[in-house]
Structure 1
Amino acid sequence: MSKAVNNMSMGVVEPQERMKHLSHCGNFIDVDKTQPVTRYYRSGTEMLRMANVYLREGNHENAFILYLRYMTLFIEKIRQHPDYGNVKAEVRDINKRIKDEIMPTTEKLRAKLLAHYQREYEQFLANKEAERVKELEREREQERQRQRELASRQAVGSSVIPSLIPANLHVLIDDGTQPSAPDLDLLDQVVYPNDFPTGANRTNLPGSGLLLPTGDASSDKTSNSKPSFDRNQKPSYNRTDSLLAGSLRIVHVPADTMEVFLQLAKANTSNNIETCGVLAGHLAQNQLYITHIITPQQQGTPDSCNTMHEEQIFDVQDQMQLITLGWIHTHPSQTAFLSSVDLHTHCSYQMMMPEALAIVCAPKYNTTGFFILTPHYGLDYIAQCRQSGFHPHPNDPPLFMEAQHIQKDAHTKIKVIDLRR
């Protein structure tokens, strides 16, 4: 991993390093050969939808990352999939789109971002130089103040000492007697070399990375305090941009989602049959909003549910410009958790969309779970598991967890598209 990636939290301001890190994020995508190749083409479609939203909203960094990721997937990585040769029509259309639209847009974004980073860097250097000049002036003023105070103490001392020493007393330094104790107030005025650091010791700038420190601005110092560099003068980066920072974007869930879905599943639930649906929505201001439940044609059992005719789901999403944000299903007679089959089902969702939710409704126990595979263990473990059907998995470390990036929204209502009818 690059030095810039390792030091994201520390920060560096050089424009080329920042662009290098953006490119690294854009190239960070892999193809799982066990997943249907069509899912990658669906993921690519949704990737472009999000990139276009970011572009319209002026979030050029995230737009650049997604456009670059799209090109990385379909120019390079998708060729590794064993079923690549079966999607010639899609490949032809995508290659034309990349050449005519995406590549020119990405290059324009690259130039715009580099120019923006260069302006920020030049402003940073100018602020740094201005701060250096201010610090030098503060040092000079502190030295002048020290000299004035020292001169004042010497003047007071020279007027007092003669009246304190008897005229007939002559003391020699080398006569074996002890000199008097030093004046502690005078010691406080001594200036040591490290009290006023300059150059590299003064700024203490970190060496590499992208995100820049955003600590509080330094307040005005008194004459005895050490000067400090105002870190707010560094070029800043919006850390909420999760594609760059690596965090999960907030997913807004209408508060009535579970109640509405349980009503859709009521007939199946009474017969102890699972029901499933796809959660879809849109992106706005770097947050994800679930707006629809798409209930596909399906076959359910007491502990599983399989969708059919997925192309119908894709058609609806294309018509309404909806992004897949996860799935929802019932456990008619069990508690809310992810079974081994559920883990594998959700893996394909989360690989395409890191924020994808698995909502499990357990009406018998009146509970609901909002789950994701653990990002640093469970997702990779399940992706590499080649077993099918119900099979045991280790419980430690945990393979899934309660989602922490959701926000229930009481002011919006979920919409339903029921394809079973």
Structure 2
Amino acid sequence: MQSNVEPELKHTSGLINPQERLKHLINYSNAVEVDFHIPPTRYYRSGLEMVRMANVYNSEGNYENAYVLYLKFMTLFLEKIRKHPDFNSVPVKMKAINQAKLREVLPKAEKLKERLLEQYKEEFNRYVAERERRKELPKNSADTLATETNFASASTLVDPSSHSFVNVETPRNIDDITYPDPDAAARRPRPVPSAPDFDRAKKPSEIFDSKYVPPGLRLVIVPGQVMVQFQTIAQKNTVNNVETCGILAGKLENNQLIITHMILPKQKGTSDSCTTMNEEEIFDLQDQHNLITIGWIHTHPTQTAFLSSVDLHTHCPYQLLMPEAVAIVCAPRYNETGFFILTPEYGLKFIANCRKSGFHPHPTKPPLFMVAEHVKIDHSADLQVFDLRAQ
């Protein structure tokens, strides 16, 4: 249906009318694709975490981001997931839980749609009124007003080609919400990263205390206790040249992902690999504590901190479903800790399309992984540890 807004309002100074602005937001939210190489059950698990994040955004008044996640959730599970070749393998119980979430989300999304449309109308009208008032002012007065006034509703200016949305009450982070759309992150222009390079004389806190966060990624807060406690727990395996791995989970707060829990699942380790077992135990624990998966951690008992070919494939699903997901590698022999992600503009897609398994060579240029610059170490943050290996 075409809008009835006057043409000059649609095309003047890049201004976009409220209905079109909402339409862009909906189109952006519907751009969800399913990677058939990720088991559908992982999407169902990630869907629950998506709703948890949307609920947080909603409670914090970040309505655009909440609406985007609710719509992505509905698009994913009302339409896209059914095309997965293994859709019929999803347990009935898991589908039932998902259906209950859909019934919960539908009215929330509709309410947010109405709220956002009213907000866009108010911002649009304020902008038009201010623009008309400036036209009526003498030139000197208009210049003074432009200098002295920080007019909030100018945020209704939208570049339709970029689909980048800015709102008076929310930060410029709608394009951050690519979860679980892997291609959106890969499409964003970024400087080509260099290969990971570590100064072993520096502690992780000195490397990652920068306030810089790459565009499109939310900040990930890592308690300093994560590395300390994990290496203590893994010491017996490390002495025996056996890798140890754990899951990093936490919460979304003020548009930051905060690691609050470290879970050590039942696992099988070798000198250069580690495989988790009994994943349902992990899922149940995360449900009990309302946790979001933010990444994983593992040791390299005898090697330096880097991502092996197996590590790259292990991390890929994490990052496809959560662009900020971080892989932490502890190398005790070299007193080295690495915080990594797959390069969003190349490595993520390359590994997602690689069908090889086990240890195998990959090209090194362009780099497939990079230092995770969106990580901040917080030595005062609390951490809960659940070791499921002995249970």
Q: Distance in 2 between matches of 1:358 and 1:248?
A: 15
Is 1:332 the counterpart of 2:301 in the alignment?
A: yes
Pick one of 24, 40, 44 that aligns with 2:43: 40
Aligned partner of residue 294 in structure 1, secondary structure: strand
Q: Distance in 2 between matches of 1:248 and 1:267?
A: 36
Residue of structure 2 in register with 1:95 after alignment: 99
Is 1:398 the counterpart of 2:332 in the alignment?
A: no
Is 1:52 the counterpart of 2:55 in the alignment?
A: yes
Change (3 A) 1:108 1:392: same
Q: Distance in 2 between matches of 1:254 and 1:235?
A: 32
Count residues with an aligned counterpart: 326
Q: Residue 258 of structure 1: CA displacement?
A: 0.7
Contact kept, 8 Å, 1:11 with 1:210, in 2: the verdict is no
Q: Which runs of 5+ in 1 are unaligned?
A: 1-9, 140-204, 214-233
Contact kept, 8 Å, 1:17 with 1:210, in 2: the verdict is no
Q: Distance in 2 between matches of 1:68 and 1:207?
A: 21
* Residue correspondence of structure 1 range 371-390 to structure 2 within 5 A: 371-390=340-359
Residue of structure 2 in register with 1:243 after alignment: 177
Residue of structure 1 in register with 2:194 after alignment: none
Q: TM-score, normalised by structure 1?
A: 0.73
Aligned partner of residue 328 in structure 2, secondary structure: strand
Contact kept, 8 Å, 1:212 with 1:236, in 2: the verdict is no
Contact kept, 8 Å, 1:281 with 1:292, in 2: the verdict is yes
Residue of structure 1 in register with 2:26 after alignment: 23
Q: Residue 15 of structure 1: CA displacement?
A: 1.5
Residue of structure 2 in register with 1:195 after alignment: none
Q: Distance in 2 between matches of 1:394 and 1:31?
A: 26
Pick one of 221, 233, 238 that aligns with 1:264: 233
Contact kept, 8 Å, 1:336 with 1:368, in 2: the verdict is yes
The letter of the residue matching 1:110 is K
Aligned partner of residue 381 in structure 1, secondary structure: helix
Q: Which runs of 5+ in 2 are unaligned?
A: 1-12, 143-156, 179-187, 189-214
Aligned partner of residue 32 in structure 2, secondary structure: coil
Contact kept, 8 Å, 2:158 with 2:165, in 1: the verdict is no
Q: Residue 134 of structure 1: CA displacement?
A: 1.2
Contact kept, 8 Å, 2:248 with 2:263, in 1: the verdict is yes
What is the percent sequence identity of the aligned residues? 54
The letter of the residue matching 1:94 is N
Aligned partner of residue 290 in structure 1, secondary structure: strand
Contact kept, 8 Å, 1:23 with 1:68, in 2: the verdict is yes
Q: Residue 315 of structure 1: CA displacement?
A: 0.7
Is 1:125 the counterpart of 2:107 in the alignment?
A: no
Q: Which moved more, 1:112-121 or 1:82-91?
A: 82-91
Q: Residue 34 of structure 1: CA displacement?
A: 1.5
Is 1:275 the counterpart of 2:209 in the alignment?
A: no
Q: Distance in 1 between matches of 2:238 and 2:216?
A: 36
**CA root-mean-square deviation:** 2.3
Q: Residue 16 of structure 1: CA displacement?
A: 2.3
